[in-house]
Amino acid sequence: MRSLLFGAVIIQHNDTLASAIDMETHAVATLLHDLGWERQLNSSIVTADRRFEVDGAIAARDFLHGHGDGQHWDDSRVQLVWDSIVLHTERSIAYYKELTVQVVSKGISMDFSGPAFGVTDEEYAAVLEQFPQDDLVEVPQVMARKRKVQNEEEPATASSSKHTKADDKDEPQSQLELQKQSLHHGIFEPYPPAKVYRLLEPGPVVLVTTGSLADSTHNVMTIGFHMVIQHESPPLLGISLGPWDASFATLKKQRECVIAVPSVEMAGVVVDVGNCSAADEDNEDESEGETTSSKWQRFGLEALPAAKVKAPLVGGPNVIANIECVVEDTKMVSKYSMWVLKPVKAWLNPRKKPGEGGKMIGW
């Protein structure tokens, strides 16, 4: 309900959205967007091999096709619901789709990131007062419970002939009991293979800057996928940055960037930056005559000149370090969106050394 109301307020503040978006389609897509989180055992909605967004989109489409009113919907409205649900977590795509898809995604994201897109602090607080966020839980915990447990029956063997009815008393009587036992037995719970990256993400979550401070084209984004590739001769780092990211084209052209390591005090800002696309800023700035540097101003980030690259350092007392990098290797970019970077200059905040007052942001 919160996401629906957030989206409704976004629409209310924008005449273009108010005249273009069908509120019923928006409401259905938003209210059904989490069907893929179904946690009932033997769920007819959840699958083991599809993303929860896809499971939810399929379930919503089936609901509309089977509902008396939904049967009168034309294909375009049903498709809008499908797209809104399947893309609601992929903001770098959803924000370039139809207006309904955009607003559904933005309303849902605000449940996690706070007021934005024209929604005031007061309006946001009013929604939370009526519908508190007590139902929000950690994603990995929910994912572990939402997926069906895959139980494989052992093939019968010759020794099974010794089986007696007395043995049945010690065995689960149904597949449901087997699943319950598996879910709650001991310490561990099942976890979907498609999400194991969340267990292995090394952290810390970092900020990556691209562009040029000199001509105010500098951008900043949040990245959680990165790694150390080589310690020396030369030191090499890897980051995952794909064409869906606004910084991709700039990095491809200029072949340099800065990796900034923020401390936990900046966690809120880092999340907000991750939920904001420079492309969105560009679209807004065109009408106001501003540059992409407004993104830095919006989140209160300080851009400082780097020593060896055009991209800026991220300044401020809560930044642990900045690493100036140049692109060393692009062989894996087209297939894996993996950039190999070579650090050419590094800066450390002496008051925020890791382990000495500087705690990094981990997932």
- 5: confidence class by pLDDT, cuts 50, 70, 90: very high
Beta strands (DSSP E) in the chain are 206-210, 219-223, 226-230, 236-240, 256-262, 302-304, 313-315, 319-329, 338-348
CA atoms of 250 and 170, how far apart (whole Å)? 64
At 319-357, the pLDDT tens digits run 988 999 999 999 999 999 999 999 999 998 888 776 666
Chain segment 188-225, per-residue pLDDT in tens: 556 666 666 566 655 688 999 999 999 999 999 999 88
Residues 6+ apart with CB under 8 A from 340: 229, 236, 237, 238, 327, 328, 329, 330, 331, 332
Q: What pLDDT shows up at residue 295?
A: 81
Q: Give the pLDDT mean for 11-35.
A: 90
Q: Nearest CA to 338 among 324, 328, 347?
A: 328
Q: Is the pLDDT of residue 9 over 90?
A: yes
Query: Is 1.10.1060.10 the CATH classification of the domain at 182-278+294-348?
Result: no
Show me where the domains of the chain are located. 1-130, 182-278+294-348
The answer, yes or no, to whether residue 308 has pLDDT greater than 90, is yes
Report the SS3 class of residue 40.
coil
- pLDDT category at 241 given cuts 50, 70, 90 is very high
* Whether pTM exceeds 0.75: no
The C-alpha atoms of residue 299 and residue 315 are separated, in whole angstroms, by: 12
pLDDT (mean) for 175-183: 45
Band the pLDDT of 81: cuts 50, 70, 90: very high
pLDDT-derived band of residue 259, with 50, 70 and 90 as boundaries? very high
